[in-house]
Structures are given as C-alpha cells and as structure tokens.
C-alpha cells in the first residue's frame, strides 16, 4: 500500500513518510519532493556528523507553536478536527519512518485508538500540537521536539495530574533561577538521565485505557517493570520478595505495582517526608485499603525485605553454602565430562 519515496531512499534520509492518500487526494508529487529531501538530508547530516547535543528541556515543548489551521506547505487540506484526516495515512499498517539506523512504524491502530480513553472528543491535534502538515511532517519553525510535545500535551487537560507531576522528582523543572539548559546539565552532572519521563513515557500514547476499561486497567497494573523498571533498573531488579515483587513479577493481581507504594504523578524521593515510602509514612502506605490491616510498628520491619530480599538471601550462610556447594559440584561434573 505504501510507496516509499524514491528520492528519499536514494539520499539515505532520516525520515520517510509515503502517503498513499497523496494519490487519492490528487496531490502533485513534484512540489513535495524537494521539501522532503531537504528535510531528510538535514536530519541525516545531524544524525551522522554533528555531535549529539543535550536534549532540549521539555518545559516549553507542549506549547503549540502553530495553529492547527495554519497554511500548509502542501497543496491540500486535511480535516484536522477529526481523526480521519491523519488516519488516512497513519491508519495504514505499512506506514514506516526510515531512519539512518532504525525503521519504526508510525502506524496508529484505529481499533486500539477507539478503545482508548481519548476515543471521543480528543482530535489528533489535541496532543500533536506542533505539526506542520507537510509531507513528511517537518518541525515547524520555532517548534520543539514533536514527540516531547505530544507526550506532555496531557497537561492541557489533566491539570491536577500535571501539577502533581511537576511537584515530584520527575518534573522537568529545574531549581529556581536555573535556565532550562542549566537544568539539563545539572541533571547529567548528577548522574541522572538528561530526560525526565513525560506523561506519555509512562502512560503511552494512542492506547491509554479508560479508567472504566477494567481489563485494560488490570493489564496496566502489571506494567510496572516496564513502566518504571526501564529507568529504575536496580529498583525493579530488587523488587523480588515473596508476597510483593515475586508475586507481581508473575502477574498476581493482588500484588502491588510500583505506584501502589511509591505513589504516582507526584513521585518523591524516599527521604522526602511527604513520600509514601518515607519511614514516617510507611504504616499509612502499608495499611492502605486492600493491603495490610491494623499495621503496627513491628510490622514495618518487613519493608526491609521488599527491595532487600535477594541481598538478605545472598547474605544467608546456608544459602551461600548450598549455592557454593552446588556450584562446585556442577564445575566438577563439567570438568569430568
């Protein structure tokens, strides 16, 4: 269905978007080619020659820098108020973006989209704010990273959630008086990832389930290792105690996900007294509805095991002895064979 743009492929471009509807809409190919090639060549040059710059701060990324009805570079107009316009191209399963090193699908599954919380009332441009409707979509001048813009566009509707997020550790905001660039540099200097997770990094994009969609919410409950563990690798690896981590890892629905203890949106450091996992708040957190009842101080001793089970087991002399003995036996057998 999709015809890859020959000029772009020949130039080893960074981005190729080929639109079948260009034909169906009577789009003349000639005017778009130079634009696409220029954009692609520019991207390729950036990807191969220029040193990778620090990511731009995202604090301003979700601000629409162009009206959805701006004049397009191309000689056609898509019905931007609804989803049908974008999905004319993006509803094609074969639609792909060919980069210098990777090829990624830019297909949007309409069926999934229709089941999502945003099926009704949210047009594509409600989240994808920064698009120029050229082919392929170029960053419009003054715009920022389109992906970051989309991932952070949630703030325009979900204001309370965004406020909580902005107060937490995941907030892109720097210290008072810091410029956005200084914030990024400070994060990198502190050994933290330059990029903070944006709304879309945790919640996904086109498949965000409705709160009423019980199966989808149930499935989301079990995504902690992917959602948080992608960045918090050590914390995810050590979340392995009997009734919490080990059960959660195996898909037990009554086992807590990361956010059941650590909270969500307003994620705070463990040593922050407002954090639900701060020692002073553990009784409240462990005693929340559906978890433990009548929590007392002695019970909180168990908290040590939630992320410390493996370390405690490794420190146990019987376990060490058994493991070493079996290890030696296996080595001996191997040497004999």
Partner 1 sequence: MGLTQLNVWLDAIFTTLYPVIVLALMGHFLGNILTGRAKRRFGKEWAWPHHDSHPPALPKFLHFTHVACMFVLGGTGLFIRFNPISRETMQWLHYVAMIIVTVNLVWRLWYAFASRQRDYREFAITKQDIVTAPKVILYYIFVKPSKPHLGKYNVMQKGTYTLFVPLLIIQAITGFMLWRLQFPIIDTSLQQVFAGLIGATGIWLVRTIHYIINWLFIILTTVHVYLSVTEDFPAFLDFFGLGMFDKRSAEKHHGDDHGHGHDDGHAHEPATAYASAEHA
- For partner 1, the closer of residues 4 and 319 by Cβ is 319
162 and 170 Cβ atoms separated by less than 8 Å = no
Integer Cα distance of 197 and 269 in angstroms: 15
Site membership for partner 1, residue 225 (CB under 8 A): no
The one segment of 32-40, 72-80, 87-95, 243-251 that binds partner 1 by CB under 8 A = 243-251
Task: Single out the residue of 106, 147, 173, 247 in contact with partner 1 (rule: CB under 8 A).
Answer: 247
Which of 15, 54, 8 lies closest to 34 in space, CA to CA?
8
Site membership for partner 1, residue 226 (CB under 8 A): no
Question: What's the token pair of residue 138?
Answer: 């170029």
Site membership for partner 1, residue 298 (CB under 8 A): yes
Site membership for partner 1, residue 333 (CB under 8 A): no
Residues 6+ apart with CB under 8 A from 92: 1, 2, 20, 107
78 and 133 Cβ atoms separated by less than 8 Å = yes
C-beta of 242: minimal distance to partner 1 in Å?
Answer: 6
Can you tell me which residue has the tokens 């407002």?
274
Integer Cα distance of 161 and 158 in angstroms: 6
Strand blocks (E) in the chain: 96-98, 103-105
C-beta of 254: minimal distance to partner 1 in Å?
Answer: 7
Task: Single out the residue of 246, 272, 278, 281 in contact with partner 1 (rule: CB under 8 A).
Answer: 246
Task: Single out the residue of 31, 322, 324, 332 in contact with partner 1 (rule: CB under 8 A).
Answer: 322
DSSP 8-state assignment for residue 242: I
What DSSP line would sit under 265-310, residue for residue?
A: SS---TTSTTSTTSGGGHHHHHTSTTS-SS--TGGGGGHHHHTTHH
DSSP 8-state assignment for residue 19: -
- For partner 1, the closer of residues 203 and 244 by Cβ is 244
Site membership for partner 1, residue 319 (CB under 8 A): yes
Task: Single out the residue of 1, 111, 318, 337 in contact with partner 1 (rule: CB under 8 A).
Answer: 318
C-beta of 289: minimal distance to partner 1 in Å?
Answer: 10
C-beta of 257: minimal distance to partner 1 in Å?
Answer: 14
Site membership for partner 1, residue 313 (CB under 8 A): yes
Residues 6+ apart with CB under 8 A from 300: 279, 282, 283, 286
Task: Single out the residue of 51, 250, 334, 335 in contact with partner 1 (rule: CB under 8 A).
Answer: 250
Site membership for partner 1, residue 295 (CB under 8 A): yes
- How many other CB atoms sit within 10 Å of the CB of residue 170? 18
Site membership for partner 1, residue 327 (CB under 8 A): no
The one segment of 27-35, 77-85, 168-176, 248-256 that binds partner 1 by CB under 8 A = 248-256
Q: Give the CA diameter of the chain.
A: 77
- For partner 1, the closer of residues 71 and 252 by Cβ is 252
Site membership for partner 1, residue 292 (CB under 8 A): yes
Site membership for partner 1, residue 253 (CB under 8 A): yes
Question: What's the token pair of residue 39?
Answer: 């954009």
Helix (H, G, I), strand (E, B) or coil at 130: coil
Contacts with partner 1, residue ranges (CB under 8 A): 242, 246-247, 249-254, 286-287, 292-296, 298-299, 301-302, 304-305, 309, 312-313, 316, 318-319, 322
């Amino acid at each position: 269905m999709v015809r890859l743009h020959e000029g772009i492929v020949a130039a080893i471009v960074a981005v190729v978007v080929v639109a079948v509807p260009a034909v169906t809409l009577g789009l003349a190919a000639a005017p778009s080619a130079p634009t696409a090639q220029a954009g692609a060549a520019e991207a390729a040059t950036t990807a191969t020659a220029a040193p990778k710059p620090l990511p731009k701060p995202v604090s301003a990324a979700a601000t629409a820098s162009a009206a959805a009805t701006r004049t397009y570079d191309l000689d056609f107009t898509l019905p931007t108020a609804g989803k049908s316009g974008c999905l004319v191209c993006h509803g094609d399963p074969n639609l792909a973006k060919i980069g210098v090193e990777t090829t990624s699908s830019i297909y949007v599954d309409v069926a999934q989209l229709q089941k999502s919380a945003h099926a009704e009332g949210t047009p594509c441009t409600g989240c994808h704010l920064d698009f120029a409707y050229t082919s392929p979509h170029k960053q419009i001048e003054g715009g920022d990273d389109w992906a970051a813009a989309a991932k952070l566009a949630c703030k325009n509707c979900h204001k309370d959630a965004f406020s909580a997020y902005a107060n937490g550790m995941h907030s892109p905001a720097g210290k008072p008086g810091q410029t956005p660039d200084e914030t990024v540099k400070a994060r990198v200097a502190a050994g933290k990832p330059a990029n903070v997770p944006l709304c879309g990094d945790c919640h996904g994009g086109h498949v965000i389930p409705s709160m009423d969609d019980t199966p989808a919410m149930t499935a989301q409950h079990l995504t902690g290792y992917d959602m948080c563990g992608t960045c918090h690798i050590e914390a995810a690896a050590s979340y392995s105690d009997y009734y919490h981590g080990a059960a959660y890892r195996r898909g037990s629905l009554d086992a807590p996900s990361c956010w059941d203890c650590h909270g969500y949106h307003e994620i705070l450091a463990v040593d922050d007294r407002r954090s639900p996992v701060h020692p002073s708040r553990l009784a409240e957190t462990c005693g929340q509805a559906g978890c433990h009842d009548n929590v007392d101080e002695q019970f909180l001793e168990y908290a040590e095991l939630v992320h410390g089970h493996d370390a405690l087991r490794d420190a146990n002399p019987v376990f060490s002895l058994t493991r070493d003995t079996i290890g030696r036996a296996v080595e001996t057998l191997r040497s004999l064979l």
